[in-house]
């Protein structure tokens, strides 16, 4: 039997990379700028895992601050086997086959934050997972998602959580399919609370569509009533018909397998008695 020699990772290579572990899908980020990498370590503190085996790889090419592309809004398109992600402040190429990408941006945390969200959403789409505009938390070993339009109360429900609840996010929830069930993961993508979630995961026990009202009430919904509402809150920028169809099916599958509720609430802590 022939043994293949594996070259060890050198200290120089370690100094030029960080591993950002979001959703159990670690991304190895390389840059020749130590200052940029330290900034990433601070921004994604709690999600840095140098011992993780990377699932994704990203090389960062830093340029001077300024407009990089003519795109004002985010553009995501597929061309010649790669996803092209563009916005005024960044340009990224992502190869889904090799799970390797390159990002051109200035030394700021916002561009790579956007690229990470999009790359994770593209990767999740192929395996039945979703990034959802929703708050989420873990209590008693189970995860709960709270979704709704802007102003529906995602941040409020997070603030009202009891002390034994662990916040996963108040902004972007990360859901992966595991066999016949779903798991919610913490993310560093913060909203109004300006705090990252905890880097933990738990089985998803319920999805709640929020609505503020004069009193607390809850109503279980049928799957047929909720798929459209969920899709309106899924983060997905690509217009590729094949992946859009996968995202649609993933949303329909999630509401078939996870209990879905309409949660009308008045902002007091007793609302959590209806949840868990």
Q: Provide the CATH number for the domain around residue 169.
A: 3.90.228.20
- Backbone conformation region of residue 151, classed left if phi is above 0, alpha if psi is from -120 to 50, else beta: left
Q: Are residue 145 and residue 97 in the same domain, yes or no?
A: no
Residues 165, 113 share a domain: no
174-218 pLDDT per residue, tens? 999 998 899 999 999 988 888 899 999 999 999 999 999 999 999
Where does a domain end: 100, 125, 150? 125
Q: How far apart are CA 69 and CA 51, in angstroms?
A: 35
> Is 4 a member of any domain?
no
Q: Is the same domain home to 266 and 139?
A: yes
pLDDT of residue 8: 53
Judge contact between 214 and 230, C-beta under 8 A.
no
Residue 6 lies in a domain: no
Q: b/e string for 206-225 if b means 16 or more Cβ within 10 A?
A: bbbbbeeeeebeeeebebee
Q: Are 32 and 137 in the same domain?
A: no
| Cα(55)–Cα(96) distance, integer angstroms | 11
> For residue range 2-50, what is the model confidence (pLDDT) as tens digits?
343 444 545 555 579 999 999 999 999 999 999 999 999 999 999 999 9
In a domain, residue 3? The reply is no
In a domain, 40, yes or no: yes
Which alpha helices (H) appear in 58-207, and where do they start and end? 109-125, 154-159
Within this chain, do residues 112 and 156 fall inside the same structural domain, yes or no? no
d(CA 123, CA 110) in angstroms, rounded, equals 20
> Is 5 a member of any domain?
no
Q: Are residues 118 and 212 in the same domain?
A: no
Prediction pTM value: 0.91
According to the model, what pLDDT value does residue 14 have? Answer: 58
Domain that holds residue 112: 11-125
Going by their DSSP bridges, the two strands 142-147 and 201-212 should be labelled as: parallel
User: Residues 113, 146: one domain?
Assistant: no
Do residue 141 and residue 110 come from a single domain?
no
- Asked which of 107, 125, 143 is the last residue of a domain, the reply is 125
Structure tokens at 188: 């560093």
Co-location of 64 and 168 in the same domain: no
Residues 116 and 138 in one domain: no
Is residue 1 one of the residues assigned to a domain?
A: no
**236 and 104 together in one domain:** no
End-to-end CA distance of the chain: 56
220 — pLDDT class (breaks 50, 70, 90): very high
**Same structural domain for residues 220 and 112?**
no
Burial class for 150, CB neighbours closer than 10 Å (0-12, 13-18, 19+)? exposed
Kindly state the percentage of the chain with pLDDT values over 70.
95
Domain count for the chain: 2
Of the residues 125, 142, 170, the one at which a domain ends: 125
């Amino acid at each position: 039997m022939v043994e293949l020699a594996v070259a060890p990772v050198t200290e120089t290579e370690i100094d030029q990379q960080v591993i950002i572990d979001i959703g159990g899908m670690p991304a190895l980020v390389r840059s020749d700028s130590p200052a940029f990498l330290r900034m990433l370590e601070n921004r994604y503190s709690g999600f840095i895992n140098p011992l993780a085996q990377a699932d994704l790889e990203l090389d960062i090419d830093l340029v001077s601050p300024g407009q990089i592309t003519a795109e004002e809004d985010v553009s995501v398109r597929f061309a010649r086997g790669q996803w092209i992600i563009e916005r005024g402040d960044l340009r990224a190429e992502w190869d889904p086959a090799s799970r390797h990408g390159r990002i051109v941006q200035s030394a700021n945390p916002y561009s790579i934050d956007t690229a990470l969200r999009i790359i994770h959403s593209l990767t999740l789409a192929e395996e039945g997972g979703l990034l959802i505009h929703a708050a989420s938390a873990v209590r008693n070993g189970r995860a709960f998602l709270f979704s709704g339009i802007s102003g529906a109360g995602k941040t409020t429900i997070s603030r009202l959580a009891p002390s034994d609840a662990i916040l996963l996010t108040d902004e972007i929830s990360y859901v992966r399919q595991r066999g016949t069930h779903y798991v919610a993961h913490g993310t560093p993508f913060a909203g109004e609370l300006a705090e990252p979630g905890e880097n933990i995961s738990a089985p998803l026990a319920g999805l709640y569509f929020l609505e503020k009202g004069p009193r607390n009430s809850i109503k279980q919904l049928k799957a047929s009533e909720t798929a459209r509402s969920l899709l309106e809150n899924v983060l997905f920028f690509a217009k590729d018909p094949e992946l859009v169809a996968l995202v649609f099916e993933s949303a329909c599958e999630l509401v078939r397998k996870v209990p879905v509720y309409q949660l009308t609430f008045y902002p007091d802590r007793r609302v959590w008695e209806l949840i868990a």
